[in-house]
Structure 1
Amino acid sequence: MSYNIALNFEDGVTRFISCNEGETVLDAAYRNQINLPMDCSDGVCGTCKGSCHQGNFELGDEYIDEALTDEEVAEGKILTCQMIPSSDCVVQIPAASTLCKTGQAEFGGTLAEVNLISPTAIELKVNADQDIPFLPGQYVNIKVPGSEESRAYSFSSRPGSRELSFLIRNVPGGLMSSWLVGQALAGDRLSLTGPMGVFYLRPVARPVLMLAGGTGLAPFLAMLEELRAKGCDQPVHLIYGVTNDDDLVGVEALERFAAEVEHFSFKTVVASPDSAHPRKGYVTNHMEDAPLQHGEVDVYLCGPPPMVDAVLGYFREQGIQPTSFHYEKFSPSVAAVAEQVA
């Protein structure tokens, strides 16, 4: 038996390795040609200290307190030289991937479909050459054919499939947008690197509030695919805000999730005062159904910078401190997604 271990490095790169039953994460990483920080490999120096964000494992008792204290263990800290997984795990490595002699994985794929689903949004479907492991909510960099430039897009499909999908903002004059709308053909080859990012769905242990702006809906579609597959016993509420009526996409998919994912609900909001939509304004104007639970809630937020800043300000003004708050800002004019986790 083996387990999939996601190694999240501090520069945002995620590498997946296979860890055999009874094998330490450190040994599995070296077997996969990833040199995690290490001086002793005996639980003495503490150089290989990291943290486990999800999954089951054993640490044993072959390390000393100076390397890992009881308080650190209670906080989820681990030593990769002592950590023996008993399930799939996500491990945070406090070092850049380049220092561990690794980096973003590169893979190829074939363009399957390009759908202009609204004047402002494009759905891109890619058939990957190989299985692409990622955490629901993460993104990849896709190289724009005919250039040396790349653009970052969140997966909107569930991990575990070679049929990848992305929800992309149609930016007038944008390098990727122009290629997709004007030149792309089914069968074209694409080069992708990743996965990247610390914005991903954690184990659901309490109510969840999801706040999406525009094509920031994409990572939530991947998260909801995961919840549909694995089930969920906590309330999950999504508020999806856009600027104009034409920007509202993916509603049919959300309706299917609402019918198939127990405890999931959603609402849509349009900011334009000229909209005919029944709910106008911003996501912060429509929080009445949000499961805030006096802060006993996990919040996920993805959208353009003004939206993210406005939501953060709302929570400060309301004096609400969520148990966890994960947010990601994106800008369509840059090659990489800016990420923050609070």
Structure 2
Amino acid sequence: MSYNIALNFEDGVTRFISCNEGETVLDAAYRNQINLPMDCSDGVCGTCKGSCHQGKFDLGDEYIDEALTDDEAEQGMILTCQMVPASDCVVEIPVASTMCKTGIAKVQGTVLEVNLISPTAIELKVTADDDIAFLPGQYVNIQVPGTEETRAYSFSSSPGSRDLSFLIRNVPGGLMSSYLVGQCKAGDPLTLTGPMGSFYLRPVERPVLMLAGGTGLAPFLAKLEYLKAKGTEQPTHLIYGVTNDDDLVCVKELEQFAAEIENFTFKTVVASADSAHPLKGYVTNHMQDAPIHHGEVDVYLCGPPPMVDAVLGYFRDQGIKPNSFHYEKFTPSVAAVAEAVA
């Protein structure tokens, strides 16, 4: 038996390794040619200290308190030289990937379909030549064919398949948008590098509030695919806001998720005053059904900077501090920026 271990480095790079039963994360990383920080490998120096808040593992009792205190262990800190996984895990490594003689993985892919599903949104489907593991909510950089430029796009598909999908904003005159709308066809090669990003779904242990703006819906589609496969007993609520009626996409997919995922609900909101949509305004105008529970909630937010700032301001003005707050801002032609507010 082996387990998939996601190593998240502080520069945003994620590398997946296979860890055999009874094997330490440090040994598995070295076997996969990733040189994690290490001096002693005996639980004495603390050089290999990281953290793990997702997955089951055993640290044993061979390490000394100077390397890892009881308080640190209770807070999810680990020593990779002592950590023996008992399930798939996500491990945070507090150094850059380049310091560990590794970096972003590169995968070749082939375009399956490209569809203009609204005036402002493009659906891109790609099949990867090799396996590409990622956490639901992460993104890759896709190279614009014929250039050295890349653009960052979140997966909208579930992990575990070489068939990948992306929901991409159609930016008039944009480099990638112009290629996708004007030139791209099935069979075209693409180069993807990643995965990257910290906007991934954490263990669902309390109610979840998802807030999406425009094509910021993409990572939530991946998260919902994951929840559909794994199941959850916690209430999960999505508020999806757009500017105009034409910007609403993937509503049928959301309705299907609501039918298949227990305790999942969603609403759509249109900002334009000219809209005939029943819910108008911004996502912050329609929080009455949100499972906030005086802060006992994990919040995930993805959208353009003004939306992110408005939502952060809403929670601040309401005096509500969620258990965790993860958000990702995006702007055209700029890589997504993910942050977490504990």
Question: Shared topology, TM-score over 0.5?
Answer: yes
Q: Give the total of aligned pairs.
A: 341
Aligned to 2:211: 211
Q: What SS does the aligned partner of 2:107 have?
A: strand
Deviations 1:75-116 (A, max 9, x none): 000000000001000000000000000000000110000000
Query: Within 5 A, what are the aligned runs for 1:139-288?
Result: 139-288=139-288
The code of the aligned residue for 1:231 comes to G
**Unaligned regions of 5+ residues in structure 2, if any?**
none
* Secondary structure of 1:274 counterpart: coil
Residue 330 of structure 1 aligns to a residue in which SS? strand
- Give how far 1:131 is off: 1.6
For 1:222, give the aligned amino acid.
Answer: A
Equivalent in the alignment of 1:18: 18
**How far apart, CA to CA, are the structure 1 residues paired with 2:192 and 2:131?**
13
Quote the Cα distance in structure 2 between the aligned partners of 1:41 and 1:89.
20
- Please give the secondary structure, in 2, of the residue aligned with 1:221: helix
3-state DSSP class of the match of 1:46? Answer: coil
Cα offsets for 1:229-251 (capped at 9, x unmatched): 01110100000000111111010
Structure 1 residue 337 corresponds to structure 2 residue 336: yes
1:332 shift after superposition? 1.4
Residue 92 of structure 1 corresponds to which residue in structure 2? 92
What's the C-alpha RMSD, in Å, of the aligned pairs? 0.5
Shift of 1:8: 0.2
Residue type at the aligned position of 1:163: D
What TM-score comes out, normalization by structure 2 length? Answer: 0.99
Q: Residue deviations 1:285-331, cap 9 Å, x none? A: 00000000110000000000000000000000000010111110011
SS in 1 for 2:246: helix
Distance 1:55 1:99 in 2: 25
Q: Show CA shifts across 1:12-55 (max 9, x none).
A: 00000000000000000000000001111110110000000200
Q: Aligned letter for 1:161? A: S
Identical counterparts, % of pairs: 82
| C-alpha distance in structure 1 between counterparts of 2:252 and 2:332, whole Å | 24
* Runs of 4+ off more than 2 Å: none
Distance 1:7 1:53 in 2: 12
Query: Aligned-pair distance for 1:185?
Result: 1.1
Aligned to 2:311: 311
In 2, distance between residues paired with 1:16 and 1:333? Answer: 27
C-alpha contact (below 8 Å) 2:42/2:63 kept by paired residues: yes
Post-superposition CA distance 1:111-137 (Å, at most 9, x none): 000000000000000011122110000
**For the residues of structure 2 that align with 1:76 and 1:53, how far apart are their CA atoms?**
6
Is it true that 1:128 corresponds to 2:133 in the alignment?
no
Structure-2 separation of matches of 1:35 and 1:92 = 14
Tell me the secondary structure at the aligned position of residue 45 of structure 1. Answer: coil
Q: Deviation at 1:337?
A: 1.1
Distance between the aligned counterparts of 2:308 and 2:71, measured in 1? 33
Aligned partners of 1:131 and 1:36: how far apart in 2? 23
In structure 2, the partner of 1:67 is: 67
Distance 2:53 2:250 in 1: 30
Whether contact under 8 Å (2:239, 2:268) holds in the other structure is: yes
Question: Shift of residue 333 of structure 1?
Answer: 2.5
Q: Secondary structure at the match of 1:337?
A: strand
- Residue 302 (structure 1) aligned with residue 312 (structure 2): no
